[in-house]
């Protein structure tokens, strides 16, 4: 049993100084019940909380810890950079090197701008798309999450749906009116929206693999279909690869599925886990960004030297070790097959979605292909399952509407440990 009295005490204390006691909503465990665990350190496949509990973990900072926590190559790069100062607010050689590396690795990117988070990246990409096309509207998909920029908090996934506020108060009606939404994987709905808003749509933005309503894969024709609509209508196609970039393949989901967007947003992975984001794409569009062009976007901490060093170390490693991706997929497939066997033994038939090293178990028996089908999941059952796993030392995302991420630190022995816990937790969760 994993008791956590110190975490409980810290969570009570945090309520007085931090809204809801956390700095990002999903962490508050509201969707699963119980108190969040306050973490002290993490290494390889493990995280350790204030109470001295050890967890095998499958969030990996929501993606970037592809090599597990505290990867030596990243630690070394950061340590080497620290004595040269933490921030300059002036250009550095490292920024060019990482830009060149990203351009080399991601098929669609010809020019790239570093920012500090995925949210900044998506906000900026939309602004550039609007500046470039001279149009105001955008299409996003129900259940996709693109950070907390105003325009994206309409039918948003992740913490927004977890807490039941997919359309956040504070977003003006004017902003909401410019955001058109369609069901994920529904090309006909997109065509209808675009037709009804002829020459007004600046961008279509999506997660090419959705990870913020749980993991949902694009149907085979979906991404290419969007590409075709954008080409025909002069719309900028934006892939939000904050979670999938460098995780599903060296060039992200766009490499895996062979569809090239006009702009791509990237996040935490290019900082090796440090606070970084980026957006990039066709030079013709990126040349609209200031000071090359008129669309303004800036940041003192953009291209921060410590974050760039961490990111360079991570990306170089991934580029030189393509076997990482086959190994990660093999580990994840073992987990998924094992979970299916467990369910079979228990007479259960819940849906598991997987691509590469990302997966989700949905507590519903129907295929999950969009937000509506994701919402058929039994979230109370998910909450019981989550807590039963936590008690067994397995740390999952505290929401049905998030993806899980596997790192290279997950050995076969840990897969076996995970599957044992999964069997017992499923058994416990369905009994209540």
Give me the residues that bind ligand HOZ (CB under 6 A), please: 24, 26-27, 62, 145, 158-159, 212, 402
* Element housing 237 (H / E): strand 236-240
CA dihedral 13, 19, 22, 25 (to 10 degrees): 150
Give the up-direction half-sphere exposure of residue 30: CA atoms within 13 A in the CB hemisphere.
14
Q: Quick one: 105 or 404, whose CB is closer to ligand HOZ?
A: 404
Q: CB of 327 within 8 A of CB of 408?
A: yes
Read off the DSSP letter of residue 226: H
How many alpha carbons fall within 13 Å on the CB side of residue 307? 23
Q: How far is the CB of 62 from ligand HOZ (least distance, A)?
A: 4
C-beta closer to ligand HOZ: residue 26 or 394: 26
3-state secondary structure of 205: strand
Is 240 catalytic? The answer is yes
Whether 145 is catalytic is: yes
CB 225 within 8 Å of CB 249: no
Nearest to 373 by CA among 335, 401, 344: 401
Measured from the CB atom, is 118 or 218 closer to ligand HOZ?
A: 118
Q: How far apart are CA 91 and CA 95, in angstroms?
A: 7
Residue nearest to ligand HOZ (CB): 24
Nearer to ligand HOZ, 236 or 307 (CB): 307
* Nearest residue (CB) to ligand HOZ, 178 versus 402: 402
391: left (phi over 0), alpha (psi -120 to 50) or beta: alpha
Nearer to ligand HOZ, 244 or 260 (CB): 244
Q: CA-CA distance, 222 to 195, in Å (whole number)?
A: 18
Q: Could you say which of 94, 140, 268, 375 is catalytic?
A: 268
Pick between residue 145 and residue 222 the one whose CB is nearest to ligand HOZ: 145
Beta carbon of residue 211, minimum distance to ligand HOZ (angstroms, whole number):
7
Buried b vs exposed e over 11-27: b needs ≥16 C-beta within 10 Å? beebeeeeeebbeebbb
DSSP string covering 248-315:
TBTTHHHHHHT---SEEEE-GGGGTTSS-EEEEE-HHHHTTBTTTSSB----TTTT-HHHHHHHHHHH
Active site residue 385: no
- In whole angstroms, the minimum distance from the beta carbon of 118 to ligand HOZ comes to 9
- Given a contact cutoff of 8 angstroms between Cβ atoms, the answer to whether 279 and 240 are in contact is no
Whichever of 57 and 402 has its CB closer to ligand HOZ, that residue is 402
Query: Residue 247: phi, psi to the nearest 5?
Result: -95, -40
Cα-atom radius of gyration of the chain, to the nearest Å? 21
Residue spans of beta strands (DSSP E) within 316-356: 351-355
- CA-CA distance, 103 to 64, in Å (whole number)? 19
Q: Which of 178, 186, 240, 370 does the annotation list as catalytic?
A: 240
Phi-psi region at 383: left, alpha or beta (left = phi > 0; alpha = psi -120 to 50): alpha
- Pick between residue 27 and residue 113 the one whose CB is nearest to ligand HOZ: 27
Catalytically active residues are 145, 240, 268
């Amino acid at each position: 049993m994993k008791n956590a009295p110190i975490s409980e005490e810290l969570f009570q204390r945090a309520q007085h100084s931090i809204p809801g006691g956390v700095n990002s909503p999903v962490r508050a465990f509201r969707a699963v019940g119980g108190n969040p665990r306050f973490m002290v350190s993490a290494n390889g496949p493990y995280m350790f909380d204030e109470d001295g509990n050890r967890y095998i973990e499958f969030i990996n900072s929501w993606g970037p810890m592809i090599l597990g926590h505290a990867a030596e190559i990243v630690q070394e790069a950061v340590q080497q950079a620290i004595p040269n100062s933490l921030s300059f607010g002036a250009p550095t050689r490292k920024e060019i090197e990482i830009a060149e590396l990203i351009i080399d690795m991601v098929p669609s990117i010809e020019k790239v701008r570093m920012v500090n988070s995925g949210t900044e990246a998506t906000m900026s990409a939309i602004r550039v798309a609007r500046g470039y096309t001279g149009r105001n509207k955008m299409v996003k998909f129900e259940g996709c999450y693109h950070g907390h920029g105003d325009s994206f908090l309409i039918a948003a996934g992740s913490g927004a749906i977890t807490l039941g506020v997919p359309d956040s108060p504070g977003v003006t009606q004017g902003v909401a009116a410019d955001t058109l939404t369609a069901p994920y994987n529904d090309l006909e709905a997109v065509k209808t929206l675009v037709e009804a808003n002829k020459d007004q749509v600046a961008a279509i933005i999506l997660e090419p693999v959705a990870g913020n309503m749980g993991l949902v894969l694009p149907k085979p024709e979906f991404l290419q279909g969007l590409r075709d609509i954008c080409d025909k209508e002069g719309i900028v196609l934006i892939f939000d690869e904050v979670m999938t970039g460098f995780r599903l393949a060296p060039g992200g989901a766009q490499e895996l599925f062979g569809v090239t967007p006009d702009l791509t947003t990237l996040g935490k992975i290019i900082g090796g886990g440090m606070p970084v984001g980026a957006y990039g794409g066709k030079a013709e569009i990126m040349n609209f960004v200031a000071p090359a062009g008129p669309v303004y976007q800036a940041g003192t901490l953009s291209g921060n030297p410590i974050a760039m060093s961490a990111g360079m170390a991570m990306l170089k490693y991934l580029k030189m070790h393509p076997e990482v991706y086959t190994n990660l997929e093999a580990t994840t497939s073992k987990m998924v097959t094992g979970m299916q066997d467990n369910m079979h033994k228990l007479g259960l038939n819940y849906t598991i979605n997987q691509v590469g090293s990302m997966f989700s178990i949905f507590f519903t028996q129907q295929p999950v292909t969009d937000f509506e089908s994701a919402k058929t999941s039994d979230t109370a059952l998910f909450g019981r399952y989550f807590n039963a796993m936590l008690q067994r030392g397995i740390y999952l995302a505290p929401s049905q509407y998030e993806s899980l991420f596997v790192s290279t630190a997950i050995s076969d022995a840990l897969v076996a440990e995970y599957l044992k816990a999964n069997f017992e937790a499923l058994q416990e969760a369905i009994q209540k």
